[in-house]
Structures are given as structure tokens and as C-alpha cells.
């Protein structure tokens, strides 16, 4: 059986417990590998290694750091297919999406490597004569990364690449469900020549390894993507230590379809948003807010198109909807469907665990559409993280925006319309970090900031230039070459 180890100070090693847990293929329950389960002791060792390595790394010119990240990009490209296959086997997304996710990491690597020759600060005029003023970015120290299973390599790339290019060292805990792709990503950094100690992989649970990282006095910041509940806990613990946290949490994203929309286009966007990655994206479409005049037609078109979505093992190229991550997730989704029915929503299609056609060994949930949902229902408010979408009827754009914004999350929203005036109004008023026009709620590109408002995050962003803010402090530097004491705000007024 393949064993997945930790990577600490440039060495692959089992954890101090010597314990391993199985890694399962969600499409068929097969054991793919065993992964080591670490403790605080392993985190301590990783932090020590990171600390030593960072002392030198911060002095390496950023373009030179970036040279290694370019190599990471090329190796990701070279190993794209292998990575996609591993990704699909351990987390279930269909292979086409697996390839797309690896592409996201490739894009990020080249983009961030380019930052090695930018990392812009400001030079500004001083208010005093013979004085020079500028601001520069400096690394914070050690970044603790806690990443989810749904985008196990893309999100790890969003966090590790900017952390490293800006001169930090990293301690990374991947999700327990996806250690195989994490191992491959670390091997790429290793093969690209990243000096030892700068990227340390510690496998294990959130409650043991995650907490040890959050509480560790020498980890300077935590970047986390995952559930709201865990994010709040991290924020509380880290806040008490005045530790920076960058949190990317839930979503309850909606597509608004106005009465003048291209309905066929909207149907494609809804199906892709709601059932792609079996609804397990932070950006998944879980609500459709539709003008009442086109509601029935939209429902008819959705039902006709949903027939074409083949379920099965994501490694089969013809499959469009793969399994959900594990049994408990499957049961939670089914529980939400029951709640929806009890709340009085009407089930249009789906609403059941699928076990026929040999799918009984995997975690398959039928693509599910509820209609006649009201904004107060739990299925319209809470994140389900599965292939379930709720249709809510409204009578105007204003009402649609109100419904869109009524949830506690604010990651992504989309509007389908042909009216430029109403589109611009929506762009202004939709309270989410991502807004799509005539496109679904997923599809973020890495050179723009990724993140959300309200309960989705705490104001930071992954990817794009904005991600540099998570991993750097600003240092403002004044150089007085007048040879005399010059008091700002006093001697010049
Ligand atoms: C996530 O769901 O956490 O826009 C990330 C998208 C992808 C990234 C999703 N590019 O859906």
C-alpha cells in the first residue's frame, strides 16, 4: 500500500505517531493509499525547519526566488495529466475539471513568478527637502497554510506561491482527504530546487495539526480555506495571539435570471454552476433567483437539459457529475433535501442517493432542483456543498438583489440579462466579492482577487496581486540626506 509521509526540512518522514489512515476513492470506496497522522511534535519540527530556512530565504533577491517558481510552473505543466488523474481519484471531480484545476495552479505559478520582478511598493515625494520616502513589502516570516479538499492543488497554489515569492517559509496542512495530490505538489517544489525547510508538509487532522499550527507562537499568519465554523474558531484562537488570518469560507451563491435573459445560456450556466464538481465549490450555484414571468420556461429547460448529465466515476471522460467527497457529506446533503421538503419546497428532480448502475460503492447524489423556495427557508440560506439548487421567484431586479444579498455569505453572484442599465445596477449592488454577467457563479481567473464579503471571509483575498497583502508587511522608509534635524509637520509649516 502506498504510504504518504510528511515533508519536513527537505526530508520525507513518517509522523511521530507512526499512525496512518486510509485515503479513499469517493467514486468506489477503494483504498488508494495511507497517510501519516501527525501531532504537535511534527508541527514543532516543521516550524523549526521553516524558521531556519526563512532566515536565508528573505535575503534571496525576489527574482531569484521566482526562478524556482517558474520551474514549478513548468513541472506542473509537464505533470498536468498525472496530477489530474490523482486529483480525480482522491476527490472525485470529473477529469476535465481535474485538468482545469491543475491549469489553475500552472497559471498561478507563472503569474506569481512574474511578481518576483515586480512586488511594487511606492516611492513618493517627501514633504521635506533632501528627504526620500518609499514603501516596500517585507515577508512576515512563517505562513501556516490550511487547505481544503475541493480544490486541493489550485488553492494550495494560491497560497504557497505568493507566500514563497515574498520571502516567507511555509508549513502546510492539506485536507486529510487529499494528501496524494499534496505530496505530488511538494515533489514539484522539491524537483524545482526549492531549498530545504521552506515548504514543510504536515499531514493530519484539523483538530490536532491545524490547531497546533494556529496556536504555534512562531507561525506568523494562517491562511485558511474551509468551513465557516472552523474559520471562526481559527480566527478566535489566532486573534488572541494577534496573528494575521486570511480566511476563505462558505458561499450561498445565486444566479439571477431576469425576464429578458437568454434562457438557454442561463440554463448552461446554472447546470455548470450547480452540478459541476458535484456542487462542491465555494462558488457553486445553490440558488437561482428568477423573474416570475420566465420561471416556468426556465424550469422546463433545466429539466430537459439535466437528463444529459451522466453520473459516475470522474475518470470516465463521458461523466459530467462525479461523487461527493465522503459518506457523511452524502448524508448531510440528503438531510438538507429532507429539510427542504419539510419546509414546503417542491422537489423538481433528484433528491436521492444514487446506488444503481454499480454506483452503490461510491458517494453519489442525484442532481437536485427545488422550486417554490422562499428566501427564509434553510435550503435557501445555508451552504449545502452538494448538487442541490433552489429556485426562488421574484418580481423585479430590486427584489432579486435583496434576495441575493439576504444570506450571511458573499462570495459569488451572477446575473443574466440583456439590459445594460440593469446589469450595471446589479454590478454595483450585488454584495459579493465576485460578480458575473451572463456567466455562472464559477470561473474565477487567478490574476484577479478571489474572495468574498460578509461571512465568506475576513477581508483578505487569495490570488491576484491582492494575495501579496496576506503574506507581507508594509515597511515605510524615510532617508533624510539634509544633514540636519527636519521635523515632519513642524519645520515645513
Ligand atoms: C473554490 O471553490 O474554493 O471559480 C475555488 C471557480 C474556481 C475556483 C473555486 N476557479 O470556481
Residue range(s) occupied by CATH 3.40.309.10 in the chain: 253-437
H helix or E strand, kind and range, residue 70: helix 62-78
pLDDT in tens, 32-43: 999 999 999 999
Distances (CA, A) of 18 to 34, 44, 65, 146, 183: 11, 16, 34, 22, 18
Hey, how many other C-beta atoms are within 10 angstroms of the C-beta on 129? 11
Question: Cell 462525479, residue?
Answer: 322
Phi, psi dihedrals of residue 319, rounded to the nearest 5°: -80, 140
pLDDT value at residue 420: 98
Q: Average pLDDT, stretch 306-323?
A: 96
Q: Average pLDDT, stretch 232-241?
A: 97
Residue 194: is its pLDDT beyond 90?
yes
* Fold annotation for 253-437: Aldehyde Dehydrogenase; Chain A, domain 2 (3.40.309)
Q: Average pLDDT, stretch 279-302?
A: 98
Q: Average pLDDT, stretch 203-224?
A: 98
Q: Average pLDDT, stretch 284-306?
A: 98
Sheet with 472-480, strands from edge to edge, namely 122-125, 131-139, 472-480
pLDDT in tens, 439-455: 999 999 999 999 999 99
Residue 381: is its pLDDT beyond 90?
yes
| Residue 145 Cα to ligand 1 middle (Å) | 17
Determine if ligand 1 sits within 6 Å of the CB of residue 286: no
Q: Is 0.85 topped by the overall pTM?
A: yes
pLDDT band per the 50, 70, 90 thresholds, residue 187: very high
Residue range(s) occupied by CATH 3.40.605.10 in the chain: 3-249+457-477
Q: Choose, from 90, 104, 183, 248, the residue flagged as catalytic.
A: 248
Q: For domain 3-249+457-477, which architecture applies?
A: 3-Layer(aba) Sandwich (3.40)
pLDDT averaged over every residue in the chain: 98
Helix and strand element counts for the chain (H, E):
15, 22
Determine if ligand 1 sits within 6 Å of the CB of residue 443: yes
Query: What is the number of the ligand 1 atom nearest to the C-alpha of 251?
Result: 2
Residue spans of alpha helices (H) in 116-152: none
Residue of the nearest CA to atom 11 in ligand 1? 442
* Separation between Cα atoms, residue 322 and residue 80, nearest integer Å: 20
- Give the rounded percent of residues in the chain with a pLDDT score beyond 90: 99
pLDDT in tens, 392-406: 999 999 999 999 999
pLDDT value at residue 14: 97
Q: Are strands 409-410 and 3-4 parallel, antiparallel or unpaired?
A: unpaired
pLDDT band per the 50, 70, 90 thresholds, residue 214: very high
| Residue 282 Cα to ligand 1 middle (Å) | 6
| Residue 445 Cα to ligand 1 middle (Å) | 9
Task: Classify residue 326 by burial, with Cβ atoms within 10 Å: 0-12, 13-18, 19+.
Answer: middle
Q: Are strands 409-410 and 453-454 parallel, antiparallel or unpaired?
A: antiparallel
Determine if ligand 1 sits within 6 Å of the CB of residue 283: yes
* Separation between Cα atoms, residue 415 and residue 424, nearest integer Å: 10
Question: Cell 476527490, residue?
Answer: 91
Q: Average pLDDT, stretch 257-270?
A: 98
Q: Average pLDDT, stretch 41-60?
A: 98
Residue 308: is its pLDDT beyond 90?
no
Q: Average pLDDT, stretch 250-270?
A: 98
pLDDT value at residue 114: 98
Q: Please give the grid coordinates belonging to residue 7.
A: 515533508
pLDDT value at residue 303: 98
Could you confirm whether 115 is annotated as catalytic? no
Amino acid at each position: 500500500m502506498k504510504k504518504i509521509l510528511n515533508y519536513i526540512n527537505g526530508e520525507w518522514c513518517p509522523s511521530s505517531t507512526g499512525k496512518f489512515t486510509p485515503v479513499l476513492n469517493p467514486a468506489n470506496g477503494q483504498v488508494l493509499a495511507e497517510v501519516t497522522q501527525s501531532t504537535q511534535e511534527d508541527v514543532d519540527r516543521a516550524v523549526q525547519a521553516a524558521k531556519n530556512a526563512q532566515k536565508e530565504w528573505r535575503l534571496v533577491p525576489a527574482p531569484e526566488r521566482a526562478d524556482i517558481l517558474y520551474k514549478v510552473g513548468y513541472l506542473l505543466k509537464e505533470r498536468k495529466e498525472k496530477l489530474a488523474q490523482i486529483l480525480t481519484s482522491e476527490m472525485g471531480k470529473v477529469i476535465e475539471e481535474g485538468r482545469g484545476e491543475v491549469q489553475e495552479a500552472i497559471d498561478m505559478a507563472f503569474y506569481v513568478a512574474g511578481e518576483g520582478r515586480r512586488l511594487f511598493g511606492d516611492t513618493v515625494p517627501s514633504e521635506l527637502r533632501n528627504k526620500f520616502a518609499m514603501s516596500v513589502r517585507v515577508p512576515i516570516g512563517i505562513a501556516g497554510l490550511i487547505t481544503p479538499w475541493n480544490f486541493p492543488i489550485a488553492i494550495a497554489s494560491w497560497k504557497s506561491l505568493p507566500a514563497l515569492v515574498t520571502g516567507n517559509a511555509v508549513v502546510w496542512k492539506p485536507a486529510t482527504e487529499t494528501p496524494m495530490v499534496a505530496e505530488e505538489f511538494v515533489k514539484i517544489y522539491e524537483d524545482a530546487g526549492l531549498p530545504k525547510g521552506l515548504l514543510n508538509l504536515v499531514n493530519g487532522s484539523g483538530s490536532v495539526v491545524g490547531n497546533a499550527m494556529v496556536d504555534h507562537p512562531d507561525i506568523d499568519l494562517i491562511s485558511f480555506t474551509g468551513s465557516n465554523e472552523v474559520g471562526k474558531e481559527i480566527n478566535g484562537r489566532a486573534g488572541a495571539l494577534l496573528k494575521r488570518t486570511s480566511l476563505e469560507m462558505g458561499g450561498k451563491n445565486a444566479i439571477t435570471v431576469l425576464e429578458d435573459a437568454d434562457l438557454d445560456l442561463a440554463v448552461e450556466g446554472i447546470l455548470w454552476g450547480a452540478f459541476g464538481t458535484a456542487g462542491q465549490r465555494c462558488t457553486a450555484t445553490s440558488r437561482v433567483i428568477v423573474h416570475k414571468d420566465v420561471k416556468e420556461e426556465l424550469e422546463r429547460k433545466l429539466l430537459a437539459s439535466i437528463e444529459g448529465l451522466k453520473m459516475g466515476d470522474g475518470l470516465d471522460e463521458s461523466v459530467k457529475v462525479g461523487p461527493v467527497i465522503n459518506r457523511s457529506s452524502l448524508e448531510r446533503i440528503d438531510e438538507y433535501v429532507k429539510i427542504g421538503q419539510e419546509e414546503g419546497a417542491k422537489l423538481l428532480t433528484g433528491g436521492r442517493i444514487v446506488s444503481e448502475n454499480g454506483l452503490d460503492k461510491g458517494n453519489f447524489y442525484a442532481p437536485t432542483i427545488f422550486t417554490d423556495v422562499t428566501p427564509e427557508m434553510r435550503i435557501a440560506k445555508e451552504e449545502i456543498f452538494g448538487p442541490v439548487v433552489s429556485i426562488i421567484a421574484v418580481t423585479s431586479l430590486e427584489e432579486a438583489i435583496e434576495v441575493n444579498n439576504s444570506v450571511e455569505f458573499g462570495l459569488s453572484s451572477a446575473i443574466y440579462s440583456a439590459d445594460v442599465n440593469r446589469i450595471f445596477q446589479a454590478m454595483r449592488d450585488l454584495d459579493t466579492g465576485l460578480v458575473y454577467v451572463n456567466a455562472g457563479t464559477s470561473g474565477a481567473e487567478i490574476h484577479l482577487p478571489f474572495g468574498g464579503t460578509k461571512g465568506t471571509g475576513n477581508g483578505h483575498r487569495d490570488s491576484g496581486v491582492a494575495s501579496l497583502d496576506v503574506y507581507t508587511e508594509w515597511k515605510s522608509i524615510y532617508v533624510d540626506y539634509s544633514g540636519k534635524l527636519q521635523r515632519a509637520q513642524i519645520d515645513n509649516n
